[in-house]
Amino acid sequence: MIKVGICGIAGRMGQRISHLTLEAEGLDLGGGVEFPGHPVIEKDIGEVIGVPPKGISVVDTVEAMTDNVDVITAFTAPPDPTVVAAEIAGRAGVPMVIGTTGLSSDQVETMTQALKDVACVFAPNFSVGVTVLVQLVEEAARILGGDYDTEIVEAHHRFKTDAPSGTAYALAEAAARGLDRNLQEVGVYGRYGDTGARTREEIGVHAIRAGDIVGEHTVMFGGIGETIELAHRAQSRDTFASGVIRAIPFAVGAAPGMYDMRDVLGLR
């Protein structure tokens, strides 16, 4: 039985991962953590997620649960607690599954170094469909080439604190790979005012925040006389949480290193 520790157990994703963990064969909850001062601290994790008591209290430090879990998941906003969790998990030798977005390049580097001796599945989106979409976008960009303009539009709920989404950025990177371009040089994030004509090389990325949208991503390849669109629309957070459940046993059984959902699904 794999014991799972949940960082951000009271959050939207933490709640869904917890429920699906309890439903999954071979998995069980081993702990939950929230930030110091959160009202759920010291409450039974069963009470927090709306199931019968588990006899395990929510703690306010990752250190307090590392001895009782085999893997730790982290989906936090802001992203800083995920970096702290990675440093603690790395020292304790506990694998991780991380879906936090909005991390800076320095934070990703810190996290990668901290987890170098354990396995970590790190992805901006754990949806199986999105993982396939990333592959399709790279291949489509390679086939269509520079005669088609690439634009990406993502939409999320009003509470999301980072933009563009990590998934939109991953899609832009996939398009850049297919086009043999450097996203750092050609990425354009939103447009306003007298921007001038669009360059042939740029990859546009745009963000919408409204209502309770779970997550929508559309990649447009615009040519002369035709437009091709590849899109993914999530109807429920279970779309992402189900991917996390698939990633958990992979992380526990994998050799030390950084992985993503393509590895979990055997796509590379």
pLDDT in tens, 195-222: 999 999 999 999 999 999 999 999 999 9
Its domain, for residue 154, covers: 128-234
**CATH number for the domain harbouring residue 26:** 3.40.50.720
Q: Tokens 């800083």 belong to which residue?
A: 80
Q: Which of 148, 160, 140, 119 is CA-nearest to residue 226? A: 148
Q: Looking at the structure, do residues 216 and 246 belong to the same domain, yes or no?
A: no
Q: Looking at the structure, do residues 51 and 157 belong to the same domain, yes or no?
A: no
Q: Looking at the structure, do residues 21 and 70 belong to the same domain, yes or no?
A: yes
Say which residues have a Cβ less than 8 Å from residue 211's Cβ, sequence separation at least 6: 157, 158
pLDDT in tens, 120-177: 999 989 999 999 999 999 999 999 999 999 999 999 999 999 999 999 999 999 999 9
Q: Distance from first CA to last CA of the chain, Å, rounded?
A: 28
pLDDT in tens, 27-55: 999 999 999 999 999 999 999 999 999 99
Instruction: State which H helix or E strand residue 119 sits in.
Output: strand 119-122
Q: Looking at the structure, do residues 35 and 160 belong to the same domain, yes or no?
A: no
Q: How far is CA 42 from CA 39, 45, 59, in A?
A: 9, 9, 6
Q: Evaluate if residue 104 carries a pLDDT over 90.
A: yes
| 3-class secondary structure per residue, 159-217 | CCCCCCCHHHHHHHHHHHHHHCCCHHHHEEECCCCCCCCCCCCCEEEEEEECCCCCEEE
Q: What is the pTM of this model?
A: 0.84
Q: Looking at the structure, do residues 219 and 132 belong to the same domain, yes or no?
A: yes
Q: How many domains does the chain have?
A: 2
Instruction: State which H helix or E strand residue 154 sits in.
Output: strand 149-156
Q: Looking at the structure, do residues 241 and 114 belong to the same domain, yes or no?
A: yes
Predicted pLDDT of residue 129: 96
Predicted pLDDT of residue 267: 86
Q: Looking at the structure, do residues 205 and 154 belong to the same domain, yes or no?
A: yes
Q: Looking at the structure, do residues 117 and 156 belong to the same domain, yes or no?
A: no
Q: Which of 129, 122, 137 is CA-nearest to residue 86? A: 122
Q: Looking at the structure, do residues 155 and 217 belong to the same domain, yes or no?
A: yes
pLDDT in tens, 180-190: 999 999 999 99
4 forms bridges with which residues in the sheet? 29, 71
Q: Looking at the structure, do residues 180 and 138 belong to the same domain, yes or no?
A: yes
Predicted pLDDT of residue 103: 93
**CATH number for the domain harbouring residue 225:** 3.30.360.10
Q: Looking at the structure, do residues 117 and 8 belong to the same domain, yes or no?
A: yes
Predicted pLDDT of residue 151: 99
Q: What is the set of active-site residues?
A: 156, 160
Q: Looking at the structure, do residues 55 and 132 belong to the same domain, yes or no?
A: no
**What b-and-e string marks burial along 49-67, b requiring 16 or more CB atoms within 10 Å of the CB?**
beeeebebbbbeebeebbe
Q: How far is the C-alpha of 118 from the C-alpha of 229, rounded, in Å?
A: 38
